[in-house]
Amino acid sequence: MTQRIKDFCVKFFENLNCKLEWKNGVLFVNDIPKDFEKFAGKEGPYALGFNVEDNVDGVELMTQGCYLLKAMNKYLEGVGQTTLLKINFDINPNAEIIKNYSLKNCKIARIDKKEDYKFFTRFTFLTVFQYLNEREQIMNSLYVKDGEVIDFYLTSYDVGEGKEQNFSKDEIKKDYELAKEKLKSLIEYKTNKISDNLNEFLKKEKERISKHYSVQINEIDLRLKEIQNNIDFLEKSKKPDKVKIEKLKNLIKDIKAKGDVEKLKKEESFFINDEIQKHSLNIQNKLMNTTLIYYPIFKYQVLLEGIGKKLINISYNPLIREFDNVCCDSCDNEVKEFILCSSGHLTCRECGSKCSSCDGIYCKKCSVNKCFICNRQICSKCFVKCDCCRQGFCKSHLKEFGKKRFCINCIERCSKCGCDVEPGFLINKVCEKCNSKSVGKEILKNVFKNEW
């Protein structure tokens, strides 16, 4: 009995979302809802003891029939309400992303956050077993999420009162049916155990009753047999006493007329049926509370910056501490590391390759770029078109002239100083600088002659 009361108290206050703490066998209950304190006429916190040695000042001994236990039972009889709770999470998105993903060649530049909500239900049932003079009460809280009953401990989370939300009544009904089926399996063992004990007790009681009435019926049968034997003896004698024989026969008729045997059999049947009723098990399941619980699903928009930029959308479920899958832009396989190609695609190692020019990354989603001269595959940032021939080249086969870039095939070379010159800028196969020097010498020679 003590253990049943203890289990009942723990379940009761857990379902009120109270904070429970055990110290030296005493249950300390804090954060008790005001409505229960008002109902019970007793303000918290409570210190509850369950053994005689716990009966000290300040500790309320929880025994059958104690005031607080009665108040708890009466409170349950008037419940049956629906409550709304929200699980609160304080999440650092940057830390969670870094913990779950490896950032290889990029960093997180910015994170924007939105919230959606997911819901699940808790049904609290009170099961009452009534048999003989016993009455046992058991509380079960069943959580239903995504179409299945789950193990869940709400006391492990920061929970607050929820705000009005839109819920699907059809979904709640489905969850309720699942919870009811699960409840049957939860109480099946106890039901079978009590039923087996009751059947054993009933068997003994039926044997006792049958034995009691069997003795009485046998006594009557023996008496009738004895009288009949006397009659038979008298009738076989040489001088039968007809008067006595007639009296004995009338006595048999009187005994049978009274119907003592039939009465005894009816009494036996009545008392056996009465014992069957007494030893029957009555089970009542009552829905005490429906709790609608919701929690946030964080929708993050993450800007990654590296050799390229990429905006990815990622969802985080704080209840199971998991992100939705993030996939490679090329093959759609899940990635656990963030690698950006030069074009800003998210790539996996199988789809990404190193640029032979800058050691940057390009992926299968990018157009394949090859240098017209060396035929090496290069990333889009290293692939540059010559402003003369318009072919594409790697940077090692290009040269810049101001804002223009030309490939080594199009660049011309001064025959005097050997410097590279933009296409079309040679004068008589020499650069402008060499040409200017040559012109200057010619002027000095022809105009000023020997004066210089």
pLDDT recorded at residue 340 = 92
- Let me know whether 159 and 279 are in one domain: yes
CA dist., res. 336 & res. 354, Å (int): 19
pLDDT at 438 over 70: no
Query: Lowest-pLDDT range, 76-85, 302-311, 408-417?
Result: 76-85
Say if 419 falls within a structural domain: yes
- Let me know whether 86 and 25 are in one domain: no
Query: Which comes out higher in pLDDT, residue 40 or 114?
Result: 114
- Let me know whether 68 and 120 are in one domain: no
Say if 74 falls within a structural domain: yes
Residue whose C-alpha is closest to residue 305's, from 71, 95, 110, 129: 110
- Let me know whether 228 and 259 are in one domain: yes
- Let me know whether 163 and 261 are in one domain: yes
Q: In this structure, what token pair is assigned to residue 378? A: 């290069």
- Let me know whether 27 and 12 are in one domain: yes
The total number of structural domains in the chain stands at 3
- Let me know whether 133 and 175 are in one domain: yes
- For the chain, the first-to-last Cα distance in angstroms comes to 130
pLDDT recorded at residue 216 = 85
Say if 446 falls within a structural domain: yes
The percentage of the chain sitting over the pLDDT mark of 90, rounded to a whole number, equals 36
pLDDT recorded at residue 452 = 47
Highest mean pLDDT among 202-216, 221-235, 364-378: 202-216
CA dist., res. 378 & res. 142, Å (int): 60
CA distances from 442 to 149, 242, 431, 435, 448 (A): 102, 187, 17, 11, 10
Structure-derived torsion over alpha carbons of residues 29, 33, 39, 44, reported in degrees to the nearest 10: 40
Say if 10 falls within a structural domain: yes
Query: Which comes out higher in pLDDT, residue 160 or 187?
Result: 187
Please check whether residue 69 is in contact with residue 296, taking contact to mean a CB–CB distance below 8 angstroms.
Answer: no
- Residue 256: how many other CB atoms lie within 10 Å: 13
Mean pLDDT of 345-353: 91
pLDDT at 368 over 90: no
Mean pLDDT of 126-148: 89
Pairing of strands 282-306, 81-88: parallel
Say if 425 falls within a structural domain: yes
The amino acid present at 349, given as its one-letter code, is R
Single out the residue in 250, 267, 298 at which a domain terminates: 298
pLDDT recorded at residue 377 = 80
Q: If pLDDT is split at 50, 70 and 90, which confidence band does 211 have?
A: very high
- Residue 347: how many other CB atoms lie within 10 Å: 27
pLDDT recorded at residue 440 = 52
Query: Which comes out higher in pLDDT, residue 425 or 56?
Result: 425
- Let me know whether 190 and 285 are in one domain: yes
Residue whose C-alpha is closest to residue 380's, from 396, 395, 400: 395
- Let me know whether 54 and 22 are in one domain: yes
Say if 18 falls within a structural domain: yes
Query: Lowest-pLDDT range, 97-106, 219-228, 338-347?
Result: 219-228
pLDDT at 447 over 60: no
Say if 401 falls within a structural domain: no
- Let me know whether 32 and 85 are in one domain: no
- Let me know whether 205 and 286 are in one domain: yes
pLDDT at 75 over 70: yes
CA dist., res. 205 & res. 219, Å (int): 21
Structural domain boundaries, residue 420:
412-451
- Let me know whether 142 and 239 are in one domain: yes
CA dist., res. 132 & res. 233, Å (int): 54
pLDDT recorded at residue 79 = 61
Say if 31 falls within a structural domain: yes
The amino acid present at 141, given as its one-letter code, is S
Cis ω for the linkage preceding 33 (within 30 of 0): no
Single out the residue in 57, 78, 99 at which a domain terminates: 78
Residue whose C-alpha is closest to residue 366's, from 358, 355, 374: 355
Checking 132-136 for CB contacts under 8 A at 24+ apart, the result is: 132/198, 132/201, 132/278, 132/279, 136/4
Query: Which comes out higher in pLDDT, residue 50 or 337?
Result: 337
The amino acid present at 146, given as its one-letter code, is D
Q: What is the mean pLDDT of the chain?
A: 86
Query: Which comes out higher in pLDDT, residue 136 or 52?
Result: 136
pLDDT recorded at residue 100 = 94
